[in-house]
Structure 1
Amino acid sequence: MRPDHFRRTSRLRLRSGATAASWPLLAVASIVALFSLLPFGFILWVTVDVGWETVKALVFRPRVGDLLVNTALLEITTLPVTVILCIALAWIVERTDLPMAGLWSWLMVTPLAVPAFVHSYAWIGIMPGMKGLWSAVLVSVLAYFPFLYLPIAATLRRLDPAIEDAAASLGLGPWRVFFRVILPQLRLPVLGGAMLVALHLLSEYGLFVMIRFDTFATAIVDVFQSAYNSPSANMLSGVLVLCCGLVLGLDLWLRGRERYARVGTGSIRPPVRQKLGGWLLPAHLLLATITALALGVPMVTLAHWLWFGGLAIWQGDGVWSAFAQSIGLALAGGILATMVAAPMAWLSVRAPGRYQKLLESCHYYVGSLPGVVVALALVTITVRVALPLYQTFATLIAAYILLFLPRAIVGLRASIAQAPVELERAAMSLGKSPARAVWATTMRLAAPGAGASIALVAMGITNELTATLMLSPNGVETLATRFWSLTSEIDYAAAAPYAVMMVILSLPLTLLVQTQSRRSTGQ
């Protein structure tokens, strides 16, 4: 047998082995995709079930109009402020001669460790009269600006300084270089971060309830608490899903087909940091003010209530029971979500195709849905179809998997892409079945990525409020739900330990995100 014939035969065997490995995973990924379509199917089902006349009566009414106006005002007020603020903060930290820039970089990301509803709790603690749109905008900016700061700062670290040097050599001053060269290259991270903030504004419940600002999420939970399986809540969920779809569609339209890429590695030297000169003091004041408002206010408020409550608020089993249940649910949800995401992550890297891209879109879209919509869908489905599953751990974990499935896929996909496919082929050539070859090579090498995915999902579950409130079984109280229960009773001192524990659990994962961001840019 000729050597070239042997090589062709080996390639065919390995290719057929890879195909054989993809079929079982494709079947599992298809099942997960159908599962992720449950919330969307629920909206369609309820719309058809109640009839067009009921839909018109529940959707085309003044209350829905008021909520739409509130939502639009919140979005168009918060997003521009957040974008401008984050571009300024990222530029000062990453591109100027700011002293202790590394420390400021960490401080700009740390507010992610404080749940949004803890931010509102802190502000209400020092200013009990806060309410309305402008209070909602203030707290939203402080709670969510790191989602924009992270991608903008990472992009500024990656930009090729040679392009800026070329623009300067053509006679452009520093400001014109910024607006004509640097700012256009920030378009994609700005749009991506703005989309995340916009979706969080649509889905947030606790922050706006405490600020007394009505949104679709607060209205849905209010209706749900007054009447389970209410057609009114279901229709409000449908409108909220349409709002999410509008945000995603607007993001795709604004992104267009433009891309900013270069062939080669570009300049290997870091960009020259601009001298602040007389702007040094204003830059420090801006950074210090944001840090004080986003971190100082929550920390001072928590310290005040902890001091006021004394040791008594730590006594009893409430705090530690909620802590244990939160850890248990976070670990269970993180592990299961990562396991469910693994087939799709492998397929997207090893066996891409049109059908696989469709499945991947189904996995991702559910992450854009508010927790209240996912929870309401599962409530309605379990009540009407599978009543024994209503308010069980299985339904609660299912909600967590749906909500945080995209987080699990992202970490896994990156790790699988870094694992050499040749190892899978070598294992199959030695007689291992495709499934065993994948498990013995790629999945073991992807273990660090799986750990990161579990951690990201666990952090989300620890701070998740609305779905847990609506779906948790009787007697189950997490740190978030227990905190919410006590703040609803205006017992801010007793609620403080639960807020502190949530911050403590989230802080290491937040710092991990910042570390990974800097490593990805070689810093």
Structure 2
Amino acid sequence: MPASSDLREPVELASGLAVTRWSSARDSSSPRRPWLVVAVTVVVAAVMVAPVVVVIGQSWAASGEASRLLLRPRTAELLANTLLLVALTVPITVCVGCGAAWLVERTSLPGRGVWRTFLLAPLAIPAFVSSYAWTSVLPSVQGLGGAVFITALAYYPFVFLPAAALLRALDQGHLDAARSLGVSGLAAVFRVVVPQLRPAIAGGALLVGLHLLAEFGVLEMMRYPTFTTAILQQFAVGFSNAAGSLLAAVLMLLCLGLLAAEVPLRGRARIARMGSGARQQPVVHRLGGWTPAAIGALTVLVGLSVVVPVALVLRWLVRAINSGMVTVAPLVAATGSTVGLALLAGLLATLAALPAAWLLHRYPSRLATVLERVTYVASALPGVVVGLALVTLAVQWARPIYQTAGLAVLAYTVLFLPRATVAWRSGLAAAPTELIEASRSLGVSGLGTFVRVVLPLVLPSALTGFVLVFLATVTELTATLLLAPTGTETLATAFWSASDQLDYVASAPYAAAMIALSAPLTILLRRQILEQR
């Protein structure tokens, strides 16, 4: 029997598209880059990076104070806290998300359809609502431990969703081919399955990392200082002062580090295949005596991330109703404002993310990679930093949109565009390139090919991106506090106003409304898993 390293090429050949690499032959035969798409991508990238340019400009203006402000022990402490939070939480979410996805999609776990819904349910509960619920009953949940605990429970679905979708779509024939060539079961998983999961895992981990860099509500409630909480404090003391801008610039460098790390982690494996009917259904691994343990583990996970926060919110809501503190008119007005802003932001972000994702998928190049990457940078900034930057730009260059809903929607798009981009990328990666080439060879235009061939295949992913942006907008806090038109209040801002005063009863109706508004949308996310057949 040859060494396992000698089996790599036969395994890849025998398993068809398991790990097909982009080749120079394919690149040389690629159609010419559509310059209209490039132009639109450049415009989107320019708009997305505009707040970053403003922050850099403000930081440069304060460069004379940089050494004094950045070399303080406090800055080192904030940097250590931020890096430690990311270093602990991201691996936990990857392990929890991938483990849950494997149990649901590849084992004999009873009630897999129900578990899919429950494991996505944390997306319907804002992270700061979970922290509000936990601290209301367990004030000792504080510091680094509390921050990791809450954020890991809130963000693991970002890994579970794409991992479960790809696990459901993988061809069992790939594993069977590897096993037939003498590769052991565990080795076959790492050689065939893991490379195909890398785009989903890397994309999910990137989203988690970006959220942690920009997180404010949870960390403020947990009393865990990071760059984000310090930036908010600086801007509260001195409106867009030098210290806040310099800290924001450091946060951008951390974001660039995450983006750079995600590229090699994602890999270049191809996961698209031709002919869905040829795919062999995955073999279900029998849990046997491990079934109770698997059910118990998922029950604990769902209980901590969903049941406990929802139960505590309902507890405070009942008290609010019994005490007559629920005022319908403000609640309805806040809900209407929230829905309107979230719909506009979801549509704009989904459309804005498409050109870069399409360019990177169809015409991969350094230009496409750079244009797609720069759209992520601003999303690592706290909402208040993006909001202040957009206020600066609006006052100087577009005063008519200042204090309008349009500026708030633009801020949401800048902050949450990566959610839509990752969703588009996942869908496009599973769309066979051969179908596109066949359509173009028959004389169908590029736009016609996209509408008739690509769009039906990637529509579930596009819907996923829209839902993710919608959910994020519903729960966005800091940018909304700054940019919402005068007299406009959303569910998040109304909740924060009450919870900031530790008034759990008054904040409960708004927390419950956010959960009720978000819960049905998580069911739509199940389609991203179920569509992968």
Bin of the TM-score, shorter chain as denominator length: 0.7 to 0.9
> In structure 1, how many angstroms separate the alpha carbons of the residues matched to 2:518 and 2:256?
29
Q: Which residue of 1 aligns with 2:326?
A: 314
> In structure 2, how many angstroms separate the alpha carbons of the residues matched to 1:324 and 1:306?
20
> In structure 1, how many angstroms separate the alpha carbons of the residues matched to 2:134 and 2:454?
45
> In structure 2, how many angstroms separate the alpha carbons of the residues matched to 1:444 and 1:184?
26
Amino acid of the residue matched to residue 377 of structure 1?
A
Match of 1:259 among 269, 274, 281: 269
- 1:11-49 superposed Cα distances (whole Å, 9 cap, x missing partner): xxxxxxx99xx7776655543332222122113211221
Match of 1:498 among 483, 506, 510: 510
Measured after TM superposition, the shift of residue 265 of structure 1 is: 5.6
> In structure 2, how many angstroms separate the alpha carbons of the residues matched to 1:229 and 1:325?
27
Q: Which residue of 2 aligns with 1:226?
A: 237
Q: Which residue of 2 aligns with 1:237?
A: 248
Aligned residues: 495
1:486 paired to 2:498: yes
1:130 paired to 2:141: yes
Which sections of structure 2, spanning at least 5 residues, go unmatched? Answer: 1-30
Amino acid of the residue matched to residue 269 of structure 2?
R
Q: Percent identity?
A: 40
> 1:328-367 residue pairs with structure 2 within 5 A?
328-338=340-350, 358-367=370-379
1:289 paired to 2:300: yes
Relative to the length of structure 1, the TM-score reads: 0.82
> In structure 2, how many angstroms separate the alpha carbons of the residues matched to 1:133 and 1:484?
22
> In structure 2, how many angstroms separate the alpha carbons of the residues matched to 1:456 and 1:338?
10
Change (3 A) 1:438 1:392: farther
SS in 2 for 1:186: helix
- 296-305 or 177-186, larger mean C-alpha shift: 177-186
> 1:44-63 residue pairs with structure 2 within 5 A?
44-51=56-63, 53-63=64-74
> 1:2-401 residue pairs with structure 2 within 5 A?
28-51=40-63, 53-168=64-179, 175=186, 177-178=188-189, 182-183=193-194, 185-255=196-266, 257-259=267-269, 261=271, 268-310=279-321, 312-338=324-350, 358-382=370-394, 391-401=403-413
SS in 1 for 2:156: helix
Match of 2:521 among 499, 509, 515: 509
Change (3 A) 1:365 1:44: closer
Conserved 8 A contact 1:203-1:372: no
> In structure 1, how many angstroms separate the alpha carbons of the residues matched to 2:424 and 2:174?
34
> In structure 2, how many angstroms separate the alpha carbons of the residues matched to 1:179 and 1:113?
33
> In structure 1, how many angstroms separate the alpha carbons of the residues matched to 2:272 and 2:486?
56
Change (3 A) 1:254 1:361: closer
Match of 1:464 among 464, 467, 476: 476
Considering only CA atoms, is the larger Rg found in Structure 1 or Structure 2?
1
Conserved 8 A contact 1:119-1:139: yes
Change (3 A) 1:363 1:84: closer
- 1:192-215 superposed Cα distances (whole Å, 9 cap, x missing partner): 222221111111111111111111
Amino acid of the residue matched to residue 516 of structure 1?
Q
> In structure 1, how many angstroms separate the alpha carbons of the residues matched to 2:362 and 2:191?
39
Q: Which residue of 2 aligns with 1:7?
A: none
Which sections of structure 1, spanning at least 5 residues, go unmatched? Answer: 1-17, 429-433
Conserved 8 A contact 1:234-1:376: no
Amino acid of the residue matched to residue 234 of structure 1?
S
> In structure 2, how many angstroms separate the alpha carbons of the residues matched to 1:218 and 1:227?
14
Conserved 8 A contact 1:216-1:240: yes
- 1:449-484 superposed Cα distances (whole Å, 9 cap, x missing partner): 777665443332111112112322332210011111
Q: Which residue of 2 aligns with 1:473?
A: 485
SS in 2 for 1:313: coil
Measured after TM superposition, the shift of residue 232 of structure 1 is: 0.9
Conserved 8 A contact 1:334-1:457: yes
CA RMSD, 1 decimal = 3.8
SS in 2 for 1:270: coil
Amino acid of the residue matched to residue 97 of structure 1?
S
> In structure 1, how many angstroms separate the alpha carbons of the residues matched to 2:96 and 2:57?
42
Relative to the length of structure 2, the TM-score reads: 0.80
> In structure 1, how many angstroms separate the alpha carbons of the residues matched to 2:450 and 2:159?
37
- 132-141 or 396-405, larger mean C-alpha shift: 396-405
Change (3 A) 1:124 1:145: same
Change (3 A) 1:105 1:23: closer
Change (3 A) 1:26 1:99: closer
